[in-house]
Amino acid sequence: MNQTSQTEQQRSYQNSSAMIMTLTLIATISGLLVVIAVELTRPLIAENQRIAVEQAIFQVLPDAQQWREYRLNNRELHSVDESDDGIAIYAGFNQYGRLSGIAAEASAQGYSDVIRLLYGYNPACECITGIKVLKSTETPGLGDKIYKDLDFIANFKALLARLNSEHSALENGIVTVKHGHKSKPWQIDAISGATVSSRAVGKALNDSTQYLLPRVVDQLAVIKPVDPAQSNGDANSE
């Protein structure tokens, strides 16, 4: 091998090494910028999520003025301050600081994708007091009526969800019926032309209440009244 060939190989090696170092540096800087961006936006994202949850809670629990977060874990209800493991249960309090109801998430497969919603439950009337759709990709003009159709939404102003005498399940399961055929307070009047989406809402509510209410209702004494003068931030920081 002559000297010219050796020189060209050395240059090629040096160029390759320089390129690899440059790409490595770019990748490292890019990764660092991504991490910095995530850390900077994390508080904003968390605050936006808190605001969205708060608005949903106040929508499904009309009498609520404040709220606190609890968790159901191993059939035990406890404050989220003790542990953030388990199913989120949101307790709503009226203007006097007394419990006005609880809210929880439910989900079921819709026509296009899974429908996620938050619903409120009032132990005084043993009924669901409202729903708020959190995620839905149902067909515009049809399936999206589950959160746009006022007649359908009216199903959830006082939808019966009473436990049986043993508190082991609902006395009557929540079920969606054909539009115009509702005759019982635990039935949901479906939307004409959006039966799949309507049934998904009913299934989500029935599955969630059948599981949660037998485990939560008898533990509501764990949820203590709050000071009416406190803000939500103060109440949730205790």
In a domain, 70, yes or no: yes
In a domain, 49, yes or no: no
Can you give the residue range of the structural domain that contains 89? 61-236
Q: Identify the pLDDT of residue 21.
A: 82
Taking the mean position of all CA atoms in its chain, how far away is CA 202? 16
- With a threshold of 0.85, does the pTM exceed it? no
Q: Identify the pLDDT of residue 88.
A: 95
Q: Identify the pLDDT of residue 189.
A: 97
| Count of CB atoms situated within 10 Å of the CB of 24 | 10
Burial label for 16, CB within 10 Å (0-12, 13-18, 19+), is: exposed
- In order along the chain (238 residues), what is the average pLDDT of each group of 10 residues? 59 70 84 78 69 90 95 91 90 96 95 92 97 81 81 96 97 96 97 92 98 96 89 56
In a domain, 25, yes or no: no
User: Maximum CA pair distance of the chain?
Assistant: 97
Q: Identify the pLDDT of residue 140.
A: 67
The dihedral formed by the CA atoms of 114, 199, 151 and 133, expressed in degrees to the nearest 10:
-20
In a domain, 23, yes or no: no
In a domain, 37, yes or no: no
Quote the CA–CA distance of 218 and 199 in Å, as a whole number: 29
| Count of CB atoms situated within 10 Å of the CB of 159 | 23
Which stretches of the chain are assigned E, i.e. beta strand?
Answer: 66-73, 76-79, 87-93, 99-109, 114-122, 127-135, 159-160, 175-177, 187-189
Quote the CA–CA distance of 229 and 207 in Å, as a whole number: 36
Q: Identify the pLDDT of residue 238.
A: 52
| Count of CB atoms situated within 10 Å of the CB of 13 | 10
Total domains in the fold of the chain: 1
Q: Identify the pLDDT of residue 201.
A: 96
Quote the CA–CA distance of 72 and 216 in Å, as a whole number: 8
In a domain, 108, yes or no: yes
In a domain, 225, yes or no: yes
Quote the CA–CA distance of 175 and 177 in Å, as a whole number: 6
In a domain, 6, yes or no: no
- Give every CB contact of residue 157 below 8 A, 6+ residues apart in sequence: 129, 130
The dihedral formed by the CA atoms of 9, 14, 15 and 19, expressed in degrees to the nearest 10:
140
